[in-house]
Structure 1
Amino acid sequence: MTMLTFKRFSGLELIQYLDELAHLRMTVFRDFPYLYEGDLAYEANYLKTYIEAPNSVIVLAFDGDKIVGASTGVPLKEEVEEVQRPFLEAGHDIDSIFYCGESVLLATYRGKGAGVAFFEHREAHAKAIKGMEHACFCGVQRPDDHPAKPKDYHPLDDFWRNRGYQKHPELSTYFSWKDIGQATETEKPMMFWMKSLI
């Protein structure tokens, strides 16, 4: 069994790993439910948030010297308007919420505990930041009858609940990206999950 090691980096430390993270995202997010048509310009703009925020984190999973997975997070107050808006509209204090971005892992390394490790590392990082009381993340919402949905697809809802997160349908937003085969970006609905860190 392959033993993965995990390391955390913050802010400007991320620059040296941007290419690996961009390519991991483009590889993993091609699969359902994201169906993301990779674009390096989109990646550079997206990852800019994590470079510029001093309390951001990236957790990298290594198989030896090879990066096989990554997970990101940043205080919600440092995130883009699309992420902040539903919390502000619902009256939440965004200064006390830590936003967990994506977790991406090459398929051959799944089922070996990396998902749990990614959440544990990000939550430990969040708890070390003064005033952080909650963690959140969001997931794309695709229709059950989507033509690209694999027959053996299983959503991660149970895994997220086992990590202590609860779905909050009242907290939703939209992200835009190009689906595989599309010429232009289209909006995708995203729903948030939250848990207490205290």
Structure 2
Amino acid sequence: MEIRPVSGIAVEPWLDELADLRIRVFRDYPYLYDGSPVYERDYLDRYARSEQSLFVLALEYNRLIGAATALPLMDADPEFQTPFRAHGPAPERVFYFGESVLLPEYRGEGVGHRFFDLRELYARDFGFDFTTFCAVVRDHDHPRRPRDYRSLEPFWRKRGYQAEPRLITRFPWRDLGDEEQTEKTMQFWLRDVTAVEIP
């Protein structure tokens, strides 16, 4: 497996594969995302157009098996900037992690840590003080929650992230099996990357 960081428009050759990977991985709980290739390409194009975006690609024989994305919060959707404008830290100081997606058969081999390591290092090299991501909030008794579901929250805390109660947004998508989009609550997790040594 190769871990390859690329930035901005250099990711263009992988965008179709990345759109397909996002749709496949985010179908699972807790996102239950019923995505479309057209929307995915438009979403990913925003990242590709950002001069300080980062795509960390996991490749096996040049086949995309996982990826993590990031860009300055100022280049992200307004819905993600709004809670920071209201409660801080200032969006200009924050590097936003869009997603980490990895095919199930490759999980548990340290790829997730590499995704975080490289994005945090990139953020600090470009002078950002904080890194953040947001995660969907689902009821614990959600009918589609698998019995063997394992939350990623312990992993995030081990990485030094904390859920920030005031940093909440809402974002719409269509759940699997639904006819219409509904807004989902999204909780931000934040880390001060100036406070600790990053590998």
Q: TM class by shorter-chain length?
A: over 0.9
AA aligned opposite 1:182: D
Displacement of 1:91: 3.5
Query: What's the TM-score, normalizing by structure 2?
Result: 0.95
Query: What's the TM-score, normalizing by structure 1?
Result: 0.95
Task: Give the match for residue 111 of structure 1.
Answer: 108
SS in 1 for 2:171: strand
Q: Write out the 4+ residue segments of structure 1 that deviate beyond 2 Å after TM superposition.
A: none
AA aligned opposite 2:170: Y
AA aligned opposite 2:42: N
The number of residues matched between the two structures is: 194
Q: Which one of the candidate residues 161, 174, 177 is aligned to 1:181?
A: 177
Task: Give the match for residue 88 of structure 1.
Answer: 85
Displacement of 1:51: 1.2
Task: Give the match for residue 154 of structure 1.
Answer: 150
Show structure 1 runs of 5+ residues with no match.
none
Q: Which one of the candidate residues 164, 175, 191 is aligned to 1:195?
A: 191
Displacement of 1:45: 2.2
AA aligned opposite 1:113: G
Aligned mates of 2:165, 2:18 — CA distance in 1? 29
Q: Deviations over 1:150-187 (max 9, x none)?
A: 00101100000000101111101011111111122111
Aligned mates of 2:130, 2:88 — CA distance in 1? 14
Task: Give the match for residue 22 of structure 1.
Answer: 19
Aligned mates of 1:91, 1:21 — CA distance in 2? 31
Aligned partners of 2:16 and 2:41 also within 8 Å: no
> Among the aligned pairs, what percent are the same residue?
45
Aligned mates of 1:172, 1:6 — CA distance in 2? 31
Aligned mates of 1:82, 1:56 — CA distance in 2? 18
Displacement of 1:7: 0.5
